[in-house]
């Protein structure tokens, strides 16, 4: 373990060697400039004798200094052979530093351990203000021959490991455009901390980075066995660490899989929050470089959360290029968590691999529900099957739903119920779809429907298709024969007020799902490609929310196609085809409603799983509606003859509700009960609204 005590102990031998090397350098300087040692104004001017010495060039060292230097070289070689696991040795190995780079790190680290080194540097550099080592000092200390010094200058280049990985900084020490060797050299604070056994993450990336020690086990993951085996082979393959792109929905298990893979060899994992990283004030190149440096320091596997924000084609070019360039040079493994599959062209790493994490099937969802519920709320297999079959959500969403249900019940001071889990599942992703669709309040049940028996039976069959699709598609193998169309799409046809929206509400209540109404007119845009983007947002949000989609007035877009006369007609047909494609690909329930079935394109009707006609109610149905429309507490006068109303006025259920509601308001205003007179007045208003000039 790299504790501060262990770190110092492993460095003590190197620090002793550095002291002796500095002592040798002092002796060499005194030998060369000995005649100037007693000059009280030394350093304030350049005397003649110093100019002569500088012009004379390199001096031949006396025998004793040569022997000392030879001994120091041998001592260094022995230290290097024996030092295989110090913090300094690990740093050099992880960042690919050569012996000269190793010694530069040592030179810049020493003052962080003992400030006396700063005074030594100032003394040797003949300037009390230069307490930080200059490039010149590093070259003179570690390279005896001028040719070696010239070659070593390359170690301070921008693309050399010392600077590319931000291990050191070059400081101009107040000079304007100084020569390279006149720059001061500073060790990065994060490197100082790492070498001294202080594991804190770089302060500048700590707000969006977290180092974890994974403990998950692959055998505990609820993922396809083939996927786990493939991921293990890729991760454990010899050679440079691969870049593994993991695409999947929120909570699909991307991070869990990466953690379990890291846990097997005991590697730490550095989590980077991509969206937060991009939103930070750090320049892209610096932010990415610091993250990569942090991973190397701890020999950690990188996990980029929300990597789409850094790689997306619409993202800032600087972020994408910085990440791609950094991964190209990074020797370790890196995971990229994506919400959508990543095209190969987005990454140019030679060891790039892509894995898709699927949404759990029914069996896997039931297993995750059982694990997540534990002893909190024991649930029967039947209830688990109903819950797992209704909501096709990820493992992470299941765990979120359990926590949300628990919190809600706790806030209300009561025990958990099955309804809490249904409500929690419905609320998981409501925020995203609520921005683009209207959530219909669910108030109706089967008893509220007034339809012919055949229509009611067909609506119940819709619920059967949704509720038992798991058995049919997964257990009985029908899914393998369906490339698309794994969901259910319906067309409700009938004039306004015949119960189409009510029927959709009843189905939603029966299935325990939310119902969202989509305004197709708001989806269509005059700009090419925008309509498709709008529809994409709707279906993606609906999939996340496990919602029923209700498209009203579908005839506005699905009417019979006319001859294509111009580009506008052609593009309109493309939009219709695209919407049909998205409806068929959606694995939930889509309901389209129309008042004008006769103008709907027959080709469109053939692609519906079911078409349910909503006829205008006949007298018996109208009487049932009149009875249902007045609540028990409504003051209905004894002179009201509902049978006469049903027999005389051929209205739809929606019209009847409008009449009853207006009559109630009129009665409330006059302070009387709801009489036949106020109902007749309300009837006249409804007929006027319908464009019928006279009442029967």
> CA–CA separation, 585 vs 303, rounded Å?
31
335-346 core/surface letters (b: 16 or more CB in 10 A; e: else): bbbbbeebeeeb
Residue 39 pLDDT more than 70? no
In the prediction, which pLDDT does 34 show? Answer: 60
pTM: 0.76
Q: Which residues pair with 210 in a beta bridge?
A: 271
Q: Tell me if 516 sits within 8 A of 426, measured CB to CB.
A: no
> CA–CA separation, 346 vs 344, rounded Å?
5
> CA–CA separation, 334 vs 234, rounded Å?
12
Q: At what angle do helices 225-236 and 254-263 cross, to 10 degrees?
A: 50
Residue 110 pLDDT more than 50? yes
Residue 374 pLDDT more than 80? yes
Quickly state the pLDDT bin for 69 (edges 50, 70, 90). Answer: confident
In the prediction, which pLDDT does 160 show? Answer: 96
Q: What is the pLDDT of residues 405-425, one digit of tens each?
A: 999 999 999 999 999 998 898
- DSSP-assigned states of every residue in 285-321: HHHHHHHHHHHHHTTPEEEEETTHHHH-TTS-HHHHH
For 355, the enclosing helix (H) or strand (E) is strand 352-356
Which is more confidently placed, 314 or 15?
15
SS3 assignment, position 554: coil
> CA–CA separation, 552 vs 501, rounded Å?
8
Write the CB contacts of 54 (distance below 8 Å, at least 6 apart in sequence): none
In the prediction, which pLDDT does 43 show? Answer: 54
φ/ψ region of 650 (left if φ > 0, alpha if ψ in -120 to 50, else beta) reads beta
Continuous H helices in 34-143: 48-56, 63-82, 87-95, 99-113, 116-124, 135-142
> CA–CA separation, 22 vs 137, rounded Å?
10
Residue 559 pLDDT more than 60? no
In the prediction, which pLDDT does 393 show? Answer: 87
Residue 593 pLDDT more than 50? yes
- DSSP-assigned states of every residue in 601-642: -HHHHHT-SEEEE-PPP-HHHHHHHHHHHS-TTS-B-TT--H
Cα angle 571-573-575, degrees, rounded to a multiple of 5: 70
Quickly state the pLDDT bin for 564 (edges 50, 70, 90). Answer: very low
What's the length of the chain? 696
* Per-chain mean pLDDT for the chain: 86
Quickly state the pLDDT bin for 437 (edges 50, 70, 90). Answer: confident
* Cα torsion 619, 623, 624, 629: sign: positive
> CA–CA separation, 282 vs 343, rounded Å?
27
- DSSP-assigned states of every residue in 64-76: HHHHHHHHHHHHH
Q: What is the pLDDT of residues 186-231, one digit of tens each?
A: 999 999 999 998 878 999 999 999 999 999 999 999 999 999 999 9
Residue 266 pLDDT more than 60? yes
- DSSP-assigned states of every residue in 244-278: EEEE--TTSSHHHHHHHHHHTTT--EEEEEHHHHH
DSSP state at residue 209? E
CB atoms under 10 Å from CB of 674, counted, come to 22
Q: What is the pLDDT of residues 331-361, one digit of tens each?
A: 999 999 998 776 554 555 556 888 999 999 8
CA dihedral 545, 548, 549, 551 (to 10 degrees): -160
In the prediction, which pLDDT does 417 show? Answer: 92
Q: Tokens 């709320």 map to which residue?
A: 377
- Domains of the chain as residue ranges with CATH: 4-195 (no CATH), 206-356 (3.40.50.300), 363-417 (no CATH), 446-613 (3.40.50.300), 619-689 (1.10.8.60)
> CA–CA separation, 64 vs 47, rounded Å?
28
**Cα 214 to the chain's mean position, in Å?**
20
Q: Is 676 exposed, middle or buried (0-12, 13-18, 19+ CB in 10 A)?
A: middle
Continuous H helices in 428-566: 430-434, 453-467, 469, 500-511, 520-523, 530-545, 555-558
Write the CB contacts of 176 (distance below 8 Å, at least 6 apart in sequence): none
Summary count for the chain: helices (H), strands (E): 33, 14
Cα angle 374-376-377, degrees, rounded to a multiple of 5: 90
Write the CB contacts of 463 (distance below 8 Å, at least 6 apart in sequence): 507, 510, 511
Q: What is the pLDDT of residues 450-497, one digit of tens each?
A: 999 999 999 999 999 888 887 888 778 887 777 666 789 999 999 999
Q: Which residues pair with 356 in a beta bridge?
A: 247
Write the CB contacts of 645 (distance below 8 Å, at least 6 apart in sequence): 622, 626, 679
DSSP state at residue 428? S
Q: Which residues pair with 516 in a beta bridge?
A: 439, 549
Residue 50 pLDDT more than 80? no
Q: Tokens 């409330």 map to which residue?
A: 668
SS3 assignment, position 235: helix
**Cα 252 to the chain's mean position, in Å?**
11
Write the CB contacts of 280 (distance below 8 Å, at least 6 apart in sequence): 207, 208, 287
Q: Tell me if 405 sits within 8 A of 421, measured CB to CB.
A: yes
Both structure tokens of 47: 């005397």
Write the CB contacts of 486 (distance below 8 Å, at least 6 apart in sequence): 469, 473, 479, 587
pLDDT > 90 fraction of the chain, expressed in percent and rounded: 57
In the prediction, which pLDDT does 556 show? Answer: 66
Q: Are strands 438-439 and 515-518 parallel, antiparallel or unpaired?
A: antiparallel
Q: Are strands 184-187 and 243-247 parallel, antiparallel or unpaired?
A: unpaired
Which is more confidently placed, 229 or 53?
229
DSSP state at residue 468? T
Nearest to 343 by CA among 248, 245, 428: 245
């Amino acid at each position: 373990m790299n504790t501060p005590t262990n770190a110092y102990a492993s460095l003590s031998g190197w620090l002793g060697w550095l002291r002796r090397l500095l002592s040798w350098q002092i002796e060499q300087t005194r030998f060369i400039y000995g005649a100037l040692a007693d000059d009280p104004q030394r350093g304030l001017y350049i005397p003649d004798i110093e100019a002569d010495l500088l012009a004379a060039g390199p001096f031949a060292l006396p025998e004793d200094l040569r022997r000392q230097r030879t001994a120091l070289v041998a001592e260094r070689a022995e230290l290097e052979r024996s030092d295989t696991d110090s913090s300094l040795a690990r740093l050099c190995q992880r960042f690919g530093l050569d012996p000269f780079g190793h010694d530069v790190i040592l030179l810049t680290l020493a003052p962080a351990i003992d400030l006396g080194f700063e005074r030594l540097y100032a003394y040797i550099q003949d300037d009390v203000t230069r307490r930080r080592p200059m490039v010149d000092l590093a070259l003179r200390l570690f390279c005896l021959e001028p040719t070696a010094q010239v070659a070593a200058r390359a170690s301070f280049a921008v693309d050399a490991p010392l600077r590319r990985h931000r291990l050191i900084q070059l400081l101009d020490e107040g000079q304007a455009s100084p020569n390279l060797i006149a720059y001061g050299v500073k060790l990065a604070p994060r490197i100082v901390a790492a070498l001294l056994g202080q594991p804190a993450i770089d302060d500048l990336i700590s707000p969006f980075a977290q180092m974890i020690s994974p403990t998950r086990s692959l055998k505990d993951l609820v993922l396809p066995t083939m996927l786990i085996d493939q991921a293990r082979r890729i991760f454990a393959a010899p050679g440079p660490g691969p870049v593994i792109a993991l695409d999947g929905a929120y909570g699909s298990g991307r991070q869990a899989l990466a953690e379990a893979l890291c846990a097997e060899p005991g590697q730490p994992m550095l989590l980077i929050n991509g969206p937060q990283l991009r939103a930070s004030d750090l320049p892209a190149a610096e932010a990415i470089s610091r993250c990569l440096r942090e991973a190397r320091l701890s020999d950690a596997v990188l996990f980029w959360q929300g990597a789409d924000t850094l790689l997306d084609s619409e993202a800032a070019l600087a972020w994408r290029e910085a990440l791609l360039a950094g991964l190209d040079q990074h020797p370790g493994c890196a995971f990229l968590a994506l919400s959508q599959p990543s095209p190969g062209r987005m990454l140019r790493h030679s060891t790039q691999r892509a894995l898709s994490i699927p949404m759990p099937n029914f069996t896997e969802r039931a297993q995750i529900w059982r694990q997540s519920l534990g002893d909190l709320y024991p649930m029967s297999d039947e209830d688990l099957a109903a819950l797992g079959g209704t909501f096709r959500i990820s493992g992470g969403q299941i765990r979120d739903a359990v926590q949300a249900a628990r919190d809600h019940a706790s806030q209300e001071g009561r025990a958990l119920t099955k309804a809490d889990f249904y409500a929690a599942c419905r609320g998981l992703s409501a925020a995203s779809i609520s921005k683009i669709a209207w959530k219909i309040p669910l108030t109706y049940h089967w008893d509220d429907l007034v339809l012919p028996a055949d229509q009611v039976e067909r609506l119940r069959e819709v619920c059967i298709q949704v509720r038992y699709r798991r058995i049919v598609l997964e257990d009985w193998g029908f899914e393998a024969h369906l490339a698309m169309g794994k969901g259910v799409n319906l067309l409700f046809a009938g004039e306004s007020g015949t119960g189409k929206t009510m029927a959709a509400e009843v189905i939603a209540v029966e299935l325990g799902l939310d119902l969202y109404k989509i305004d197709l007119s708001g989806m269509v845009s005059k700009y090419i490609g925008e309509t498709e983007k709008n529809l994409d947002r709707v279906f993606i949000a609906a999939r996340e929310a496990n919602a029923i989609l209700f498209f009203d007035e579908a005839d506005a877009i699905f009417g019979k196609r006319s001859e294509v006369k111009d580009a506008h007609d052609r593009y309109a047909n493309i939009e219709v085809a695209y919407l049909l494609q998205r409806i068929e690909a959606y694995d939930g329930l889509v309901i389209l409603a129309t008042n004008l079935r006769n103008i709907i394109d027959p080709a469109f009707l053939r692609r519906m799983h079911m078409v349910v006609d909503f006829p205008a109610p006949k007298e018996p149905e109208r009487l049932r509606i009149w009875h249902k429309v007045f609540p028990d507490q409504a003051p209905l006068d004894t002179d009201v003859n509902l049978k006469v109303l049903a027999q005389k006025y051929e209205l739809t259920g929606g019209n009847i509700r409008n009449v009853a509601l207006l009559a109630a308001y009129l009665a409330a205003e006059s302070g009387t009960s709801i009489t036949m007179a106020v109902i007749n007045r309300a009837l006249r208003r409804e007929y006027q609204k319908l464009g019928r000039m006279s009442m029967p």
